[in-house]
Structure 1
Amino acid sequence: MALVTFTGYPASAKSTRAAQLHTYLAAKHNNVQLLSDHSLNISRNVYSDSREEKAARGTLFAAMQRLMSPNTILIVDAPNYIKGFRYQMYCAARELKLRVCTIYVVAKEEQCREWNAARQEGERYPDETLENLIQRYEEPSSMVRWDSPLFTVLWSDDQMPFEAIWEAVSEGKIKPPNSGTVAVSKAPTDALLTLEKTALSIITELMSLQDGYGGTVNLSGNNIQLPPRRLTLSELHRLKRQFVQVHKKAITLGTIEKGSVEWDASSVAHKFAVYLEEHLKH
């Protein structure tokens, strides 16, 4: 029936949200499974060693394949921080003609550190491992098909968008399996250049528009609200690099649904303006 993939920083309350969703969906469907590192007895310490982590992902993926079925809603509660692994999960679900959706649980880095420190011994990530996973985290994007539909849940939200998630797993479009003989819609050959140039022009425009601190500015036709502080060029370049990295794979692999993404300058400018507003709040 469906695969629901949770993703987010370690110790960001993913398991709490996954349990909430499991309770909600179980009241609507008679076969809802919750798969997690905990249910597979995978230790937090495996993320301190690349070989052990790779083996753990293999264990999770194998268990996921066993549990997926046309009558099952499978919730996978794990870090799932690597885009390539989420794509692999997505492809496995498509092979069985299952619906998919991604739940992105968002928490501040400091909040994750506090929650991790409060956990019992054996359930905590080692401090160095926690920091490493946060730095390596690859944010999901609604612009790529393997993360869509994407539901973002903030750490401060009282409720999850339960009804919208239920609609996605019960009525959402079922995409056909991958096929080497089926042509996929690829991004234009100049899409990456457009992404880089447009994001850079937005930064240049924003720096020239800063007058005082905070307020609303118009960036290439897109109004965004700035935080009440002076923005630095290095901060904006860091966000540009993150934005480009998030969307680069969709361009280089050509793994996008036909018509689902527009790579022209105005569309990229809109996406980057929204991205800046969301990531400049603190």
Structure 2
Amino acid sequence: MPLIVMCGYPCSGKTRRAEELKAHFEDTTDRQVHTVGDGALGVDRNRVYADSQQEKDARASLKAEVERKVNKDNIVILDSLNYIKGYRYELFCLTKHAQTPHCLVYCLTSGEDSSSWNKNREAAEQYSQDIFEALVQRFEAPDSRNRWDSPLFTVLKDDILPLEAISDALFKRKAPPPNQSTQSQPLSSTNFLYELDKITQDVLMAIFNAQKTTVPGDLISVPGATEKISFTYQTKNYLFTLISCLF
């Protein structure tokens, strides 16, 4: 079922909006609603966002948790910063692979408002000022012209959440069709490498044997091919190089 991606500055009201969405869908549908976020995974924000590798690992954990929960029966809300457009694209590809709709809810606030809300939190839940300012500076705002940011619902701090419009976007819109990059590729045959090696050696040996009685310009037949190849000095030199590598 659909994925709702929250997005916004730190302390921009994302969690409050996610809770509104969860309550709405629990009241109006018979589907399970799962919220995935930093809090649920026990992420220490100041420690994680101060280290690029730890932040990358945290994003991977959130994505993996979303992937586990997205199915035909659930609604999943990803309550995190989601401030990197490349990461939002990965989430979009995830929904294409699962063949389910998604939407983005952007909690738009000023840096001043978010900073004030951050300072009014309990000390254990606050971002340090350095981390807060760094995240605001790195923030890549969503753009509805990007397919991975669409449909986009931008919500100001005093706005009423457009619950019906979000519901329509999720349940009355077809899922994006999967493409080659998001579909699971069939596994290769277990003896693929053996067959490839055998065919390669057969072709090389056919050319090697033919060149004993062939002069440049003659055509040589090779196993498994309908067209013949023209034998040249370059062919001969290349052949000896290949054979020396194989044998």
Normalised to the residue count of structure 1, the TM-score between the two structures is 0.62
Aligned-partner SS, 2:125: coil
Separation in 1, partners of 2:85, 2:43: 20
The letter for the 1-side match of 2:180 is: S
**Retained in 1: the 8 A contact 2:96–2:182?**
no
* Per-residue deviation, residues 79-121 of structure 1 (Å, max 9, x unmatched): 0000000000110111010111000000111000000011112
Letter in 2 for 1:155: K
Conservation of the 8 A alpha-carbon contact between 2:109 and 2:156: yes
Distance in 1, matches of 2:75 and 2:39, equals 19
How many percent identity over aligned positions?
40
**What stretches of structure 1 of length at least 5 have no aligned partner?**
183-282
Amino acid at match of 2:40: S
* Match in the other structure for 2:94: 92
Write the distance in 2 (CA, Å) between the matches of 1:57 and 1:180.
21
Query: Which stretches of structure 1, 4 residues or more, deviate above 6 A after TM superposition?
Result: none
The structural deviation recorded for 1:173 is 2.0
Amino acid at match of 1:12: S
Say whether 1:75 aligns with 2:69: no
Give the match for residue 4 of structure 1.
Answer: 4
Contact 2:4 2:76 in 1 (8 A): yes
Conservation of the 8 A alpha-carbon contact between 1:11 and 1:115: yes
Match of 1:142 in 2: 144
Equivalent residues of 1:73, 1:169 under 8 A apart = no
User: Structure 2: any 5+ residue segments left out of the alignment?
Assistant: 184-247
Structure 1, 93-102 or 167-176: larger mean CA deviation: 167-176
- Superposed, 1:1-282 pairs within 5 Å as 1-29=1-29, 30-45=31-46, 46-157=48-159, 159-180=160-181
Conserved? CA contact 1:2–1:72, under 8 Å: yes
Aligned pair count reads: 181
- After TM superposition, the score normalised by the length of structure 2 is 0.71
SS class of match (2:28): coil
- Name the counterpart of 1:244: none
Q: Over alpha carbons, which structure has the higher Rg?
A: 2
Structure 2 contact 101–173 (Cα < 8 Å) conserved: yes
